[in-house]
Chain A
Amino acid sequence: MSERSFDAAKLRRRVRCQCVFLALAAALCVIVVLNINIGSVPIPVREIARILFLRAGDPVQLSIIWKIRLPRIAMAALLGGALSLSGFLLQTFFGNPIAGPFVLGISSGAKMVVALAMIYFLERLGSVSSWVLILAAFAGALLSMGFILLFSRRLKHMAALLVAGIMIGYICSAATDFVVTFAEDSDIVNLHGWSLGSFSGMSWDNVAVAAAVVGAAAALVFCMAKPIGAYQLGENYARSMGVNVRAFRVGLILLSSVLSACVTAFAGPISFVGIAVPHLTKRFLNSSKPLIVIPATFLCGAVFCMLCDLIARTAFAPTELNISTVTSVFGAPVVIAMMLRRQRER
């Protein structure tokens, strides 16, 4: 390959990368507008602009948008991004393309501890703050993660590790079901909806807390782009290039746990986003450079979750679907396609 054609290849890569970001940004805008527009009370696009930018218009519509739809959209975007990023980190950590917070049982662990905390605090205090839920979820995520790490020392095989994760997930779900069954009636409705996963009923307060946690964690992940890139060549190469592998691994574990814990605390466990989105993003970019994959994954996750939430809300309105129902329908085929493709490449 001559000097010129190589530069051309580099240019092609850059253009592709910019196109992907532009497309994702455009998709984000379109889906936000669609999400505001569609619902039990349809709001025309012209009205949306007025309400959003001038805060003027029909008071009912104004309050639907500002109090119900916008916080829900913001939350779907934030948590979708967080979940995808968490999946990306776990895949890097285990060197396993089908690792993710849901399949490794991390979401279920978080769910279990959050359910316990909810029941405990609702009984005693009648309310529970977002921070407590996040802390509980984080504790649960770390608990599952601890077991996974324990197994991963013995189970070198990638499929065995996933089976272990799925089993942990089942155990945690069983424990959750158990406590839900024996909880007070009034809590059950609330808990039951949440434990299946949903973005409904979000307030601006929730959004603020989630934004703070996810924003901080995502920024830290972005700062770790360089060692993540080295780690993609394998642990030993990373060490030989000057990565403090031990500290790096601890950082990865903590950040991915925080991200998936935050999602579980607010929206319950959501399946497949963590595996499908990072994979799709890398294919779109045709690159695995963390410096561009990290922001693109976050964006793509946000778009994906908003789209799924839109479908969950509207497909069988007025009945709302669980968010996991929709993400599974879209996410599972992506995962299967990815595995078939890898098999072929072998």
Chain B
Amino acid sequence: MARYYFEARRLAVGYNGAPLIRDITIDVEPGEIVTLIGPNGSGKSTILKSVTRQLRAVAGAVYIGGDELRALSYRELARRQAVVLTERMRPELMTCRDVVAAGRYPYTGRLGLLTPEDEAKVDEAMEAVHAREIAGRDFNEVSDGQRQRVLLARAICQEPEIIVLDEPTSYLDIRHKLELLGILRRMAKERGITVLMSLHEIDLAQKVSDRILCVKGERISHCGAPEEIFREEWIRELYELDGGTYDPRFGSVELPRIEGEPRALVLSNCGTGIPVYRRLQREGIPFCAGVLCKNDVDCQLARLLAVRVIEVEPFRPLDDGAVERAKDWVRRCARVIDAGVTIGPENARIGEVLELAEALGKLERW
């Protein structure tokens, strides 16, 4: 028995025999969630189409449950692998339940009649995606979020060992994205279903996946656990971010910082500075931020958005150097914004900075 459920060996994929991406080697253990990320047009869908036999692989081999993809019969493959595709389906006069029930195809007889066990499995699949209440609605009339859940239920109903999803969260609002990925996570961990999918939302990919594959150029550029992959520079390189930054700690994306001679100094800590940074950013005002301990949440964002950050080591009283630098910036900037600094024994000397700003008539309290 192989340790891996899904394997791709030196797979090359592309259209009309011309390889677009080469040397794809992937091993996926049962119950793992593997996510493909990469810019638009990088070939994520092409890879997914090739491992679901919608597209003939140019070279190499794919193994599912130990068997070569091409050696499996249509029915056998359908019992192991189910898909959720990006294409919009507009079936005529079909209820959501009818669409889900179509997933029983590889198990029904010649005429496709559902047995009571099949019916029970359809109900169970709808239950798993919380779609019981829309079972009788026309599929074309439900919302995008419901539609996507119904399509997932259809795939679950096929009782596959691996589900392949191409951008399942596109068109969904944030609540439905979370709900869908939550269901996938549960399927993978409770039922041991292997999940292979592509996602645009790198922040969600980081949180839901066991493994990440970065698709870029002619090959898989990086492959590994999310902790290894989500580094600022790799993401920057993968998506060719010229402006803006990606913060791997929170998985958030920021617009580029406003460069220039700082016109404002923001004094804050404990997160009070974040809304001020964003506001200055929107108004196009270059600013510097201080006096921030390195473990302050403000400090993380200030590094990305402020032109200059006055940083100090945590859990120590403010030293002369930091206070002098802050006073220097008070003199140089036209505005000093107090975003609500909490003052305690360790940063008591921030009071001196505030007094100076007050004296110069530059202090604004937000």
Given contacts A240-B78, A242-B75, whether A291 and B111 have CB atoms under 8 Å apart is: yes
B residues in contact with A244, CB < 8 Å: 74
A181 at the interface (CB under 8 A from B): no
**Cβ-defined contact, B74 with A236, below 8 A:** no
Q: List 4 additional A-B contacts (Cβ < 8 Å) besides A232-B94, A241-B103.
A: A234-B87, A239-B54, A239-B74, A240-B83
Complex Cα distance, B113 from A176, in Å, reads 46
22 A-B Cβ contacts within 8 A? A1-B135, A6-B136, A97-B92, A233-B91, A233-B99, A233-B102, A234-B89, A237-B83, A237-B85, A239-B53, A239-B74, A240-B81, A240-B83, A241-B78, A241-B102, A241-B105, A241-B158, A242-B74, A242-B105, A242-B106, A244-B74, A288-B93
- From residue B80, how far is it (CB to closest CB) to chain A in Å? 10
**Cβ-defined contact, A242 with B111, below 8 A:** no
Residues of chain A at interface, number, CB under 8 A: 27
User: What residue in chain B is nearest A287 (Cβ atoms)?
Assistant: B93
B residues in contact with A242, CB < 8 Å: 73-75, 77-79, 105-106
Q: Which residues of B contact A (CB under 8 A)?
A: 52-54, 73-75, 77-79, 81-83, 85, 87, 89, 91-94, 98-99, 102-103, 105-106, 108, 110-113, 132-133, 135-136, 140, 158
Complex Cα distance, B94 from A282, in Å, reads 11
User: What residue in chain A is nearest B139 (Cβ atoms)?
Assistant: A233
Complex Cα distance, B123 from A6, in Å, reads 11
A residues in contact with B111, CB < 8 Å: 225-226, 291
**Cβ-defined contact, B89 with A229, below 8 A:** no
A155 at the interface (CB under 8 A from B): no
**Cβ-defined contact, A230 with B87, below 8 A:** no
**Cβ-defined contact, B92 with A345, below 8 A:** no
**Which of A6, A232, A244, A288 has the largest number of chain B CB atoms within 10 A?**
A232
Complex Cα distance, B78 from A42, in Å, reads 61
A residues in contact with B108, CB < 8 Å: 226
**Cβ-defined contact, B140 with A345, below 8 A:** yes
Q: Which of A132-191 contact B (CB under 8 A)?
A: none
Complex Cα distance, B79 from A244, in Å, reads 14
A residues in contact with B106, CB < 8 Å: 241-242
Our pick among B73, B79, B89 for the contact of A233 (Cβ within 8 Å) is B89
A209-234 Cβ-contact flags toward B at 8 Å (1 or 0): 00000000000000101100110111
